[in-house]
Amino acid sequence: MLFPCLLCAVSICPRGPEYQERMRDFLDRRERGQLLIQHSRWLQESLLTKMQLSVSEDGYVHFGDSVMLVNLDARDQQPGEWLAGDLSLSVTPDALQAHLGGQLELPCGLSAAPTRTPLGRNTFLVLGAGSEAAGQVLRYGQHFCLGTSGGFKDKLLFLSSDHRSLNRSAPLSWLQAVALTDERSFLSCWQAACPDPQLRLEYEGLPVPASTCLLLTHSHTNRGLAVHRHLTLRTYFGREAEVAAHTHLDSHRVEQPQNHWLLVTGSPRPGLATMLDVSPPPLPTAAAQGQ
């Protein structure tokens, strides 16, 4: 008499009560957004959220502006195997931690990504290191901070660096590392400098033009922010270049293109995201000069 009942139970639930319990747990975690695939997708969507850069009306960088930090392509000056194109400083979370936790770990890594599109992971805020008010012009030699939300609404991380140690260095070059932390301190202060050493003292105290080549020097260690195009990392978003704090000098004691950066602002023209997309004015021809 028990045999038909057993067949009935098996036909109703072919995999038994253990399967039903796992399915209920899966559905419950999916409703609460606790699945690993949901964490990974949520983090990726936040970091890849399209952002709007600040438009500079007077051509200068101001405190409170949203900018991109871009290192322009200079293949003719540095031949060899390297990552070509314009690279933007970007948030790069650890792939395993991003997949498991679904949030940015601290300290969070950085890299230079081959993109010119303003996203959550490569958009930074120019913040004052002291009592500077929003809207004031940033000047050469002035201490300031660079913060990013990474596309999140409740986060603000600061670009920081510290002296190299045995357990704190860049992943490939073993130079001084840069990372994102949630604490604004003297380790997150930077200075802008003119790339021409003969004009550097004359530019001290002048406003910093937007989307113009400059040097970013860490105030505490006096090391320049640099991108190493010949050292590439396998990141959560693909192949990207390493970023470190190191001043690369040539035989004339002049900073090399690895240390050259642009604080790129938004374009006032509709349909163009940044000032990099704006075509430069044509050079005057000989006929025009004669007139």
For range 4-24, the mean pLDDT: 57
pLDDT for residue 278: 85
pLDDT above 90: residue 44: no
What is residue 207's three-state secondary structure? strand
- Write the pLDDT tens digit of every residue in 174-207: 999 999 999 999 999 999 999 999 999 999 999 9
On average, the pLDDT of the chain sits at 84
Cα–Cα distance for residue pair 90/159, rounded to 1 Å: 11
Q: Which residues of 52-82 are buried (b: 16+ CB within 10 A; e: fewer)?
A: ebbebeeebbbbbbbbbbbbebeeeeeeeeb
Can you give 3-34 as a three-state secondary structure string? HHHHHHHHHHCCCHHHHHHHHHHHHHHHHCCC
- The pair phi, psi for residue 63, each rounded to 5°, is -65, 130
Residue type for position 71: N
Q: Please state, for a pLDDT cut of 90, what percent of the chain lies above it.
A: 60
pLDDT above 60: residue 101: no
What is residue 270's three-state secondary structure? coil
Can you give 109-176 as a three-state secondary structure string? EEEEECCCCCECCCCEEEEECCCCCCCCECECCCCEEEEECCCCCCCCEEEEECCCECCECCCCCCCE
For residues 40 and 98, the answer to whether their CB atoms sit within 8 Å is yes
pLDDT for residue 27: 65
Q: Which residues contact 211 (CB under 8 A, 6 or more apart)?
A: 262, 263, 264, 265, 274, 275, 276
Name which of 91, 95, 125 is nearest 108 in CA terms. Answer: 91
pLDDT above 80: residue 160: yes
- Is residue 18 classed exposed, middle or buried when 0-12, 13-18 and 19+ CB atoms within 10 A define those classes? exposed
For residues 280 and 265, the answer to whether their CB atoms sit within 8 Å is no
